[in-house]
Amino acid sequence: MILLFTTISLSPIFLTQAAGEGQWITGYQIQDAQTNLLLREFNSTTGANVSYSPIIPGAEIKVTFTINVFTSGSGNLKLSTGLAKSLSGKYWELVTQDYNLGSAYNPNSATAEFNWVVGTFTMILYGKVPVSTTPTDAAKTINVLSLYGPSGGNAIDKISVIATTANMNTYQTLLTQKQTKLQELIASGVAAGYIQIYTNVINASKTEAAAGYVDNAIALLNALDTTSEPVSSVMETLFLPIVGVTAAVAVIFVIMFFRARGKVSYFHLVVEDQIKDLEGLTLRAAKIDRTMASSLESIKDSLKRLVGM
């Protein structure tokens, strides 16, 4: 219990997807290049800014965007993308034919220059979402499209999205459900001990997800599924065996996490302490629910095998 409360808490992780940040990109749609499935759209006129499906690393996408060049100047404006080259072999395709991009425009380059003259045009960007080189399942920000002035420097407008795996998307959906459930439990006056455990397990899942261990994070959230919650502090004694189960599950994941980092010996001692605590909880649970006691006994045996006892 002490291990669960003191070592695995983390501030909430908020994932956002940015639309065009300036006045130049007035709208865009991101689609799957193979199926034309709409993944995301933004329109500054209607105020639409909607994500429909996750943008997956390795996916071929096409981005149809509109740029409003509301002023003119000397030199060329520049487009660049953080996407890899698509299977089609080109990056850019001009849809609006009455805007003269100029001779510097190259549809096959990741960076495209065009005339800085007043007008509005629509273009399609083709590309492949980069795959992270790090061995994690975490989300990553991708600058799909950036617009620069003639002198370069900071982008004057851009389209940034969060590229996330399907597994991470599953975790985010489950996390939202559990956070909503937590608020419902608080509002209904569920025992404070249960609320504390529920909150700490959610925070533990965030720690795992942030480190890229999304399977572990999902498993922790699924461990919160119970048939009933204690409705008052009077019921907290009945909840203690469930606390033991949740703590034991969390300990298993913490052990797995730190085993890869060469800190097994210390956590062996921690698990041994948890086994002793579980023995006491098992005896108490046996007086309340034999099935629950059997589950605790099974977890205790699993922990013993984990540390070779």
**125 and 182 share a domain?**
no
Name the packing angle between helices 192-210 and 214-222 (round to 10°).
Answer: 160
Residue 99: predicted pLDDT: 92
Q: Which of 240, 255, 160, 170 is nearest to 204 (CA)?
A: 255
Question: Quick check: is 8 in a domain?
Answer: no
Q: Which strands make up the sheet holding 76-80, listed edge to edge?
A: 111-115, 76-80, 140-149, 152-163
Q: Which of 270, 282, 261 is nearest to 306 (CA)?
A: 270
**157 and 195 share a domain?**
no
Question: Quick check: is 5 in a domain?
Answer: no
Residue 240: predicted pLDDT: 47
Residue 30: predicted pLDDT: 96
Question: Quick check: is 16 in a domain?
Answer: no
**105 and 225 share a domain?**
no
Amino acid at 149: G
The single residue listed with the structure tokens 């070779």 is 308
Last residue of a domain, one of 147, 164, 181: 164
Distance between CA atoms of 126 and 33, rounded to whole angstroms? Answer: 8
**Hey, which bits of 129-221 come out as E strands?**
140-149, 152-163
**205 and 80 share a domain?**
no
Residues of the chain with pLDDT under 50: 1-19, 135, 233-241, 259-264, 266-267
Residue 260: predicted pLDDT: 47
Last residue of a domain, one of 141, 164, 187: 164
Residue 138: predicted pLDDT: 62
Question: Quick check: is 9 in a domain?
Answer: no
Stretch (H or E) spanning 48: strand 48-51
Amino acid at 122: T
Residue 51: predicted pLDDT: 87
**38 and 105 share a domain?**
yes
CB 284 within 8 A of CB 240: yes
Phi/psi of residue 75, nearest 5 degrees: 90, -175
Question: Quick check: is 11 in a domain?
Answer: no
Question: Quick check: is 138 in a domain?
Answer: yes
Joined tokens for residue 172: 């985010």
Distance between CA atoms of 169 and 115, rounded to whole angstroms? Answer: 40
Last residue of a domain, one of 145, 164, 183: 164
**171 and 294 share a domain?**
yes
Amino acid at 197: I
Question: Quick check: is 42 in a domain?
Answer: yes
**68 and 176 share a domain?**
no
Phi/psi of residue 226, nearest 5 degrees: -135, 155
User: For residue 224, how many other CB atoms are within 10 A of its CB?
Assistant: 18
3-state secondary structure of 157: strand
Any idea what the CATH number is for the domain that residue 143 is in?
2.60.40
**35 and 157 share a domain?**
yes
Query: What length is written for the chain?
Result: 309
CA distances from 226 to 21, 181, 233 (A): 44, 12, 18
Residue 306: predicted pLDDT: 57
Domain count for the chain: 2
HSE-CB for 226 with a 13 A CA cutoff: 19
**148 and 200 share a domain?**
no
Amino acid at 157: D
The single residue listed with the structure tokens 């002490």 is 2
Joined tokens for residue 271: 């698990």
Distance between CA atoms of 244 and 1, rounded to whole angstroms? Answer: 8
State the distance between the two ends of the chain, measured CA to CA, in whole angstroms: 21
| pLDDT tens for each residue of 245-280 | 555 555 555 555 554 444 445 445 656 666 676 676
Residue 201: predicted pLDDT: 82
Distance between CA atoms of 302 and 252, rounded to whole angstroms? Answer: 9
**179 and 157 share a domain?**
no
**191 and 283 share a domain?**
yes
DSSP bridge partners of 92: 125
**141 and 261 share a domain?**
no
Q: Which of 71, 45, 66, 64 is nearest to 120 (CA)?
A: 66
Question: Quick check: is 29 in a domain?
Answer: yes
Range of the domain at 30: 25-164
